[in-house]
Structure 1
């Protein structure tokens, strides 16, 4: 007996994705008229019959939002994912969460799978690397898509971007260390050549340049392990350095551990400021000064902007930067803080 044609057969004949065929069947206005005609012609050619009863069973997915995160092992991103999921759940939406593990090929596959399973919208904190496979397939669907925390596709008219004012944060951290008497302030962490590293480093650079002070930067992975390694490097090769602005709190916590291992006090003889203000920053010993990004509030705002786009058609502005603030603690203020 001859097999009944499927959506996949229609997609192959029309030269489009399965999600595009689904949008045509749903009568979505997001599909271009010429694409709709191509898909409808393919249906007629192969004798595809739309099973509306089955489609109604699948319609529950209209309340499904996809979330792809570059590194869920990092507590900063974990808090964002959790907070966003809770904010969407409060409005009746379920969230499918996936970790791309900084792998752009895996990311493209995850996004493709989410599209095939009928997510109504998607939020992505992209992996570094070639992102065209991910964003080109998203562009073809016409789904509401937000880039957050990292911008890997410049088409912010299609994929609005939101993050924090990292440059202002590192500048405030550097001025704070200068006020505490530091004069040789290093920047520690962040892989070179990446936009996020340049952003978090730029405020530090501008403040030191204005003060006529030397700049020492140690780049590496944003991990505790690199922070401990950087402590050894600073002690051996840059004994004049008396403070550090770190790319994130994980690097800062590793740096403090490295100095503790070497018997050097942190907070007075050497001052440290981290970035992100994860929960552990206030629980470490000494407590870690950090540039605070209100990640839970950012997640709630992301949910609100996405829902306004999905439900009311209010497309977010192309780029949004959220203010940050320094939370000074003992690692930069000294043991009496």
Structure 2
């Protein structure tokens, strides 16, 4: 179905009248529960999303942009949300921000709710896992929508995707560690079945093999806690670690210090993302810096041009990254 599903489509699929569907949408007590369930099931099947705003206001005139973020507790994603909100506000848009907390069911609920309330456009930094009906809902709503930093499962060719050149970043970090003299370099964090882990580890793996060295990959969650715990299990002889993100690296620094191993002196560390805290810790943490503020501003700009002129962004956009070497990998002075 290429057009947006209507209330008539729902009525036909449920075998009821248009007025009955309207009553269900209004949560009226006049409709029997089994009939209401049949109508809601039909809504899901045809991809109908109830628009609480008047139909003639479903456009940029509503002044609302939806932003669904996978983890607002992570400063990297918080910076993305804040930057986009400010850029959109300059053009008179209010941003509705939802935190899915890495829960695909909550993500689906947020997307549905934002569409129901008439957002003019949508940007999603997806949670991991089965996205449920959101791709169908977005297509049925017919609004400009982008995905950033991660891909929604099954979204290839359906939503524009913008991210960073993670493979180049992993390669640059590994070359840097090799240049410091490190040879037993590990990659720490991320689940092996997730594309973003594959991307971030790919440059590391290529550089290690090019140097004739054996890669050493330790997969796991991407939190400070897991980074700190990894200090307990890191094999003897590892002389450098490239971490999936800065949170893992900061946690690992903490754990190593508890065991008397000083980053930059006893072991070299590099994180990934370039959050502000990397400069503030001691020793300062080296990181593959992703200019998330610039990225957020650029993404907002692309969405605005789409809304204003109808020009959709390219199917895939990759922003460059930059290795910032600090004491944790360069060594202590």
TM-score in terms of structure 2 length? 0.83
Kindly report which structure 2 residues correspond to 1:37-48, keeping only aligned pairs within 5 A, or say none: none
In structure 2, the partner of 1:204 is 204
Q: Are 1:261 and 2:258 an aligned pair?
A: yes
Kindly report which structure 2 residues correspond to 1:100-249, keeping only aligned pairs within 5 A, or say none: 100-234=100-234, 238-249=235-246
Q: Secondary structure at the match of 1:241?
A: coil
Please give the alpha-carbon distance, in whole angstroms, between the structure 1 residues aligned to 2:199 and 2:169. 10
In structure 2, the partner of 1:318 is 315
Please give the alpha-carbon distance, in whole angstroms, between the structure 1 residues aligned to 2:172 and 2:161. 24
* Superposed displacement of residue 192, structure 1: 2.1
Q: Secondary structure at the match of 2:271?
A: strand
How far does the alpha carbon of each residue in 1:294-320 deviate from its partner, in whole angstroms, 9 at most, with x for none?
000000000110011111011110001
- Maintained 8 Å contact 2:150/2:196: yes
How far does the alpha carbon of each residue in 1:249-296 deviate from its partner, in whole angstroms, 9 at most, with x for none?
000001111110001121022000000010100001110000000000
* Superposed displacement of residue 56, structure 1: 6.8
In structure 1, the partner of 2:287 is 290
* Superposed displacement of residue 103, structure 1: 1.1
* Superposed displacement of residue 58, structure 1: 8.1
* Superposed displacement of residue 217, structure 1: 1.2
**Number of residue pairs matched?**
292
Q: Are residues 64 and 241 of structure 1, via their aligned partners in 2, closer, same or farther at CA, if it must alter by over 3 Å?
A: same
* Superposed displacement of residue 88, structure 1: 0.4
- Maintained 8 Å contact 2:245/2:272: yes
* Superposed displacement of residue 219, structure 1: 1.2
Q: Secondary structure at the match of 2:77?
A: helix
- Maintained 8 Å contact 1:156/1:319: no
In structure 1, the partner of 2:64 is 64
In structure 1, the partner of 2:11 is 13
- Maintained 8 Å contact 1:70/1:102: yes
| Stretch deviating more after TM superposition (163-172 or 97-106) | 97-106
| Stretch deviating more after TM superposition (246-255 or 144-153) | 144-153
Please give the alpha-carbon distance, in whole angstroms, between the structure 2 residues aligned to 1:153 and 1:227. 27
> Which 5+ residue runs of structure 2 have no aligned equivalent?
15-52
> Which 5+ residue runs of structure 1 have no aligned equivalent?
1-6, 17-52
Please give the alpha-carbon distance, in whole angstroms, between the structure 1 residues aligned to 2:151 and 2:322. 22
- Maintained 8 Å contact 1:61/1:118: no
Q: Secondary structure at the match of 2:147?
A: strand
Please give the alpha-carbon distance, in whole angstroms, between the structure 1 residues aligned to 2:121 and 2:170. 33
* Superposed displacement of residue 132, structure 1: 4.0
How far does the alpha carbon of each residue in 1:19-46 deviate from its partner, in whole angstroms, 9 at most, with x for none?
xxxxxxxxxxxxxxxxxxxxxxxxxxxx
Q: Are residues 321 and 142 of structure 1, via their aligned partners in 2, closer, same or farther at CA, if it must alter by over 3 Å?
A: same
